[in-house]
């Protein structure tokens, strides 16, 4: 099954070689490990999950610490339903509050509570330090450029940055 030694013209849809698969699995495992490591450390240090942090970051930068639910979903790049569930959990912990939107009865204004903002601020430096230690510190400046190029190539191939953003 291993040799995909078919006739010319099939280079397009040939199956991955052993080496390509190795690189793929390495990429995947590494990314997963990195995310897990960061999440665990962050959670234990700050009592916020990565998701909580993203939400609070967006809200903290917004006018009156408030965003329409749909804008928030756009900013953090999540599906509606995921955001709803997450906001429900965050509301229970009193990190955010939800109120029907002033101008449109359909919409919902999501607002970071004082406690939410406070927790976010306290988490900020540990978060940045963790990013530095677990990610940035792995690379030389030149390698960091490689990282960027790799992400870019992947995004292009996935069709991100196309319709979704500014």
Partner DNA sequence: GCAAATGAATTGACATGTCAATAGTCCGCT
Partner DNA sequence: AGCGGACTATTGACATGTCAATTCATTTGC
DSSP-based three-state secondary structure for 71: helix
**Region from 8-16, 61-69, 86-94, 102-110 binding its own copies, contact rule CB under 8 A:** 8-16
* Contact partner, 83, from its own copies, DNA, none, Cβ < 5-8 Å per class: DNA
Contact 110, 96 (CB under 8 A): yes
Q: Nearest-5° angle of CA 73, CA 78, CA 83?
A: 65
User: Quick one: DSSP state of residue 138?
Assistant: G
Cα–Cα nearest to 5, from 82, 15, 89 = 15
CA distance 76 to 83: 9
Build a one-symbol-per-residue string for 113-132: x at contacts with DNA by CB under 7 A, - elsewhere. --------------------
**Region from 4-12, 58-66, 82-90, 145-153 binding DNA, contact rule CB under 7 A:** 82-90
Judged by CB under 7 A, the chain residues 23 through 52 that form the site for DNA are 36, 40, 49-52
Q: Which residues bind DNA (CB under 7 A)?
A: 36, 40, 49-52, 68-70, 73, 78-89, 98, 101, 104-108
């Amino acid at each position: 099954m291993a040799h995909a030694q078919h006739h010319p013209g099939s280079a397009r849809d040939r199956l991955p070689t052993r080496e390509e698969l190795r690189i793929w699995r390495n990429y995947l495992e590494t990314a997963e490990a990195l995310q897990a490591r960061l999440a665990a450390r962050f959670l234990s240090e700050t009592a916020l999950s990565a998701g909580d942090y993203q939400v609070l970051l967006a809200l903290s930068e917004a006018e009156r610490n408030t965003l329409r639910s749909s804008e928030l979903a756009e900013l953090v790049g999540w599906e509606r339903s995921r955001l709803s569930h997450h906001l429900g959990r965050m509301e229970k912990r009193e990190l955010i509050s939800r109120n029907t939107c002033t101008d449109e009865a359909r919409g919902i204004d999501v607002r970071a509570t004082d406690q939410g903002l406070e927790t976010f601020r306290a988490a900020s430096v540990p978060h940045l330090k963790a990013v530095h230690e677990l990610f940035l510190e792995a690379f030389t400046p030149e390698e960091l450029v490689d990282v960027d190029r790799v992400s870019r190539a992947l995004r292009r191939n996935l069709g991100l940055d196309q319709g979704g953003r500014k």
